[in-house]
Amino acid sequence: MRILTTQEKNAASIMQRDLPLTSKPFAAVADACGLNAGQLISLLRDLAKNGILRKIGAILRHQNAGYRKNALVVWSIPPGNEEVAGRAFASLPFVSHCYQREPAFQEKYNLFTMLHAQNNDLSVLIDTMTQLIGNSDYLILESLQEYKKTSPEYF
């Protein structure tokens, strides 16, 4: 078990908060840690390499961004085609999340996409996706309620 240094704990503590809304958020975090941006990135990479830091994630507060309709669309993608379909979906501006799930949901649906629309019609977006990959085997799991989004705090 590795013990974190004071500087690592300080950086982790600041990184678990919201990033500052600036053009260079990692530079601002680095400054708060007494580092430059390169040193902070190096420190975070080292924590990840050592299995201490799992990921850095962003939470889209879609309601605040003007997106009123949301749905998780799950796709049945044939084996071997998941990466191509996933990359195609991830390139779409209305898809915030795209990931492969193993084991597959209902033993069939192995690619998950989170869609956000400013109007109430997701069907146009889904039609675009089906044409993009030539596959219309999906389920729509619409968001009915938004729950509080929080991350765990360790420091």
What's the pLDDT at 62? 66
Cα(103)–Cα(75) distance, rounded to whole angstroms?
A: 13
Segments of the chain with pLDDT less than 50: none
Q: Report the predicted TM-score, pTM, of the whole model to 2 decimal places.
A: 0.63
What's the pLDDT at 60? 66
pLDDT in tens, 90-101: 999 999 889 999
What's the pLDDT at 143? 67
What's the pLDDT at 38? 95
pLDDT in tens, 23-47: 999 999 999 999 999 999 999 999 9
What's the pLDDT at 126? 96
What's the pLDDT at 148? 67
Let me know the angle formed at the C-alpha of 27 by 29 and 43, rounded to the nearest 5 degrees. Answer: 65
Concatenating the DSSP letter of every residue in 76-137 gives ---TT-HHHHHHHHHTSTTEEEEEEEEEEETTTEEEEEEEEESSS--HHHHHHHHHHHT---
In the beta sheet, which residues pair with residue 73?
A: 113, 140
